[in-house]
Structure 1
Amino acid sequence: MSPPIAPPGWSRWLVPPAALSVHLSIGQAYAWSVFKPPLESALDLSGTQSALPFQLGIVMLGLSAAFGGTLVERNGPRWAMTVALCCFSSGFLLSALGAATEQYWLIVFGYGFVGGIGLGIGYISPVSTLIKWFPDRPGMATGIAIMGFGGGALIASPWSAQMLESFGSDSSGIALAFLVHGLTYAVFMLLGVLLVRVPRTEKPVASGPSAYEGVQVSARNAVRTPQFWCLWIILCMNVTAGIGILEKAAPMITDFFADTSTPVSASAAAGFVALLSAANMAGRIVWSSTSDLVGRKNIYRLYLGAGALMYALIAWVGDSSKPLFIVCALVILSFYGGGFATIPAYLKDLFGTYQVGAIHGRLLTAWSTAGVLGPLIVNWIADRQEEAGKSGEALYGLSLIIMIGLLAVGFVANELVRPVHARHHIPAPKEAADVHERQQSA
Structure 2
Amino acid sequence: MATLEGTGRLSGVRPGLLDRERIIATAGFNRWLVPPAALCIHLCIGMAYGFSVFWLPLSRAVGLSAPKVCGDMTIIQELFTTTCDWRVASMGWMYTLFFVLLGASAAIWGGWLERVGPRKAGFVSAVCWSGGLVLGAIGIYTHQLWLLWLGSGVIGGIGLGLGYISPVSTLVKWFPDRRGMATGMAIMGFGGGAMIGAPLANMLMNYFKTPTDVGVWQTFLVMGLIYFVFMTIGAFAYRITPPNWRP
- Tell me the TM-score range normalised by the shorter chain: 0.7 to 0.9
Aligned to 1:22: 41
* 1:53 shift after superposition: 2.1
Higher helix share: 1
The answer as to whether partners of 1:99 and 1:171 remain within 8 angstroms in 2 is no
Counterparts of 2:39 and 2:186 in 1: how far apart (Å)? Answer: 5
The answer as to whether partners of 1:94 and 1:110 remain within 8 angstroms in 2 is yes
The CA RMSD measured in Å over matched residues stands at 1.3
Counterparts of 2:213 and 2:46 in 1: how far apart (Å)? Answer: 24
Which of residues 194, 202, 217 is equivalent to 2:236? 194
* 1:50 shift after superposition: 1.5
Aligned to 1:158: 199
Aligned to 1:365: none
* 1:41 shift after superposition: 1.0
Counterparts of 2:180 and 2:55 in 1: how far apart (Å)? Answer: 35
Aligned to 1:119: 160
List aligned pairs for 1:2-151, cutoff 5 A.
2-3=19-20, 4-43=23-62, 44-151=85-192
Q: What letter matches 2:224 in structure 1?
A: G
* 1:171 shift after superposition: 5.2
Aligned to 1:179: 221
Counterparts of 1:47 and 1:98 in 2: how far apart (Å)? Answer: 16
The answer as to whether partners of 2:24 and 2:240 remain within 8 angstroms in 1 is yes
The answer as to whether partners of 1:132 and 1:204 remain within 8 angstroms in 2 is no
* 1:40 shift after superposition: 1.0
Counterparts of 1:98 and 1:171 in 2: how far apart (Å)? Answer: 14
Q: Residue deviations 1:103-137, cap 9 Å, x none?
A: 12111110000000000000001222211111110
* 1:204 shift after superposition: 3.9
Counterparts of 2:162 and 2:213 in 1: how far apart (Å)? Answer: 30
Q: What letter matches 1:9 in structure 2?
A: G
Counterparts of 1:132 and 1:102 in 2: how far apart (Å)? Answer: 45
Structure label with greater radius of gyration? 1
Report the identity percentage: 50
Q: What letter matches 2:234 in structure 1?
A: G
SS, match of residue 59 in structure 2: helix
* 1:172 shift after superposition: 6.4
Aligned residues: 205
The one of the two structures with greater contact order (alpha-carbon pairs below 8 A, sep at least 6) is 2
* 1:142 shift after superposition: 1.5
Moved over 3 A (4+): 169-172
Structure 1 segments unaligned to the other structure (5+ residues): 206-442
The answer as to whether partners of 1:94 and 1:111 remain within 8 angstroms in 2 is yes
The answer as to whether partners of 2:57 and 2:214 remain within 8 angstroms in 1 is no
Q: What letter matches 1:29 in structure 2?
A: A
Q: Residue deviations 1:342-401, cap 9 Å, x none?
A: xxxxxxxxxxxxxxxxxxxxxxxxxxxxxxxxxxxxxxxxxxxxxxxxxxxxxxxxxxxx
Q: Residue deviations 1:408-429, cap 9 Å, x none?
A: xxxxxxxxxxxxxxxxxxxxxx
